[in-house]
Structure 1
Amino acid sequence: MLLRRGKIPSGPQRATFAFAGSVKILSNSSGREADVANITVCYFLGSRSHQVKLRGLRIELGEIENTLLNLSSVREAAVLVRQISGHAQLVAYVALHEPALSNGDLQERLRKHLPDYMIPTVWVSLPSMPLSNNGKIDRKALPEPKDQGQDPVHMEPVSDTQKLLANLWEQLFKIERVGLNDNFFSLGGHSLLAVQTLYLLEQHTGVQIQVREFFEAPTLRMLASKIDERLLEKQPS
């Protein structure tokens, strides 16, 4: 393969190298040439097979995986797009050094480095990743996520705000009932649906909630509580 001289890019484009003897070469067949300290090296800008288009946005699954692997608590990681409740969702598979770490903790740590649309909404924790014969993660062997959306013990909404939210979510996801502990994103929600939901909530309540706050309070109970807090703040003292 003919390579031309160039410079390694800066910014989000990262170079990944494999070593063979004293020469750095790529394990990937596509690459460009760069000259560093008189050593000819190859680099690639990411595998095209891991680029997906989700809700009109191009997402590099490898970038999400690399960001996860840079977290000290994560030992192994893989990210796929799967259909859940009729919606395409980013699903993160992780093997952790800290098994007690919650999905919310991982999402919050990712949010410091990635935009909201690149944050997985469904998480599967595994003791270790399934490997293929060549030692790489066998993505086809990764399990389908279990139904994480609705809480097995249904708790009926009580307050007016809770009932309003439940009605909106039932219409949005076309399900018969929503309980207090049901999670918007595990039901099939994503950032665009969140924006739509928050717009409708503002029309009904006059309260503005940011998408980031929605990610921090994804259950019906938590979001209703946040809305009620804002309503109290708006009341004259």
Structure 2
Amino acid sequence: ALYILDDTQAPAADDQEGELWIGGEGVAQGYFQRRDLSADRFHPDPFAGHGRMYRTGDLVRKRPDGKLDYLGRADFQVKIRGHRIELGEIETTLESTHGIRQAVVIAREDLPGDVRLVAYVTSAGPVDAVTIKTSLAEHLPEVMIPAHIVKLDSFPLTPNGKVDRKALPAPFAVAPAPGAPMVSDAPATAATDRPAVALEGNLEDAIAAVWARVLGVPQVSRSDNFFTLGGHSLLAVQAHREMKVALNSDRLAITDIFRFPVVSALAAHLGKSITTVPARVTNPSHVSAPAAAPSAPPAATGDAPADERMDAMARRRAMREAREKALG
């Protein structure tokens, strides 16, 4: 017997995606000496009332005529910020990009609570992450664009010759603990978005230091884009909070990160209203809380009502994503 079941293991309606389970007299009791794997794959068959059914991991859809359409593997589906992502679709799109030989995409949680898509590719030549992400954006929604693209000489393999996804290296070194220096070397070669451009001034230093820690990257240059480095709405909220402390100012609106996502552009914008910047900040968490406002009013930042509306919209969007993530 073939069963097409949804996430609650209830029968899926025709034309609805579900996971294929197999029941009947020929289904085994489980894997030999693999109780953990058997418990995941072999369940009592509630439809037959006896025996067991086997979870294949295949995603299918039943047509009205009874035939099944194969849609992919459930193993390669993940949830990112409340969205169900099919990793195979991203891999296929990557491999259609000029110069990419093979691609593997996984969801990583190198920093607690921060799940990101990371693409691993093999290529005969250099890999330009910005060009690849731009190409992907023409075919895939934003949530399916990998935060990082890592070039490898070859993929690690399991004994049976399949890609060992668990052995794929982290895209960057783990962000340092408070007070520790940034680690510049990484276990894998991350594709460079663009040649690094040296930071200019204390304001850019402070912004880059916060971004590096929040995004978990080893370094940030003045030409780097917050979202290209792996940022999203939830991380923007965190970066906004830490930058206000690091810059000792309340003049930064969360929407400034969306309007000016490049370090140099954000620094130029903030420089209009922030006249005093703390000396080189390498660890914003150790900076004191924002000081009282100066006696002379700072320069205006623009349309205050519009900024407030945009700020509220960004916060609501971030809260919605957080709620969706919590609900799974």
TM-score range, shorter chain: 0.5 to 0.7
Partner of 1:191: 232
Cα deviation, residue 30, structure 1: 5.8
Does residue 66 in structure 1 map to residue 87 in structure 2?
no
Could you tell me the TM-score, scaled by structure 2's length? 0.45
Contact 2:122–2:152 (Cα < 8 Å) also in 1: yes
% same residue: 32
For residues 121-157 of structure 1, give each alpha carbon's deviation from its aligned partner in whole angstroms, at most 9, with x where no partner exists: 1221012222334443221222232328768499665
Partner of 1:158: 201
Cα deviation, residue 52, structure 1: 1.0
SS at match of 2:92: helix
SS at match of 1:75: strand
Does residue 221 in structure 1 map to residue 247 in structure 2?
no
What letter corresponds to residue 158 of structure 1 in structure 2?
A: G
Does residue 96 in structure 1 map to residue 123 in structure 2?
yes
SS at match of 2:133: helix
Contact 1:157–1:163 (Cα < 8 Å) also in 2: yes
For residues 74-104 of structure 1, give each alpha carbon's deviation from its aligned partner in whole angstroms, at most 9, with x where no partner exists: 111111111234322211101124x223111
5+ long unaligned stretches in structure 2 = 4-14, 18-55, 176-181, 185-195, 244-249, 274-300, 303-328
Distance 1:111 1:133, change over 3 A: same
Over the aligned positions, Cα root-mean-square deviation in angstroms equals 4.8
Correspondences of 1:1-237 after superposition (within 5 Å)? 31=60, 43-86=69-112, 87-97=114-124, 99-147=125-173, 152=184, 158=201, 160=203, 162=204, 165-166=207-208, 169=211, 180=222, 184=226, 189-193=230-234, 196=237, 204=251, 214=261, 217=262, 220-221=263-264, 223-224=266-267, 227=269
Contact 2:118–2:146 (Cα < 8 Å) also in 1: yes
Contact 1:51–1:60 (Cα < 8 Å) also in 2: yes
Cα deviation, residue 184, structure 1: 3.9
How far apart are the structure 1 equivalents of 2:224 and 2:97?
28
What letter corresponds to residue 207 of structure 2 in structure 1?
A: L
Max radius of gyration: which structure?
A: 2
Partner of 1:37: none
5+ long unaligned stretches in structure 1 = 4-8, 14-26, 35-40
Distance 1:76 1:148, change over 3 A: farther
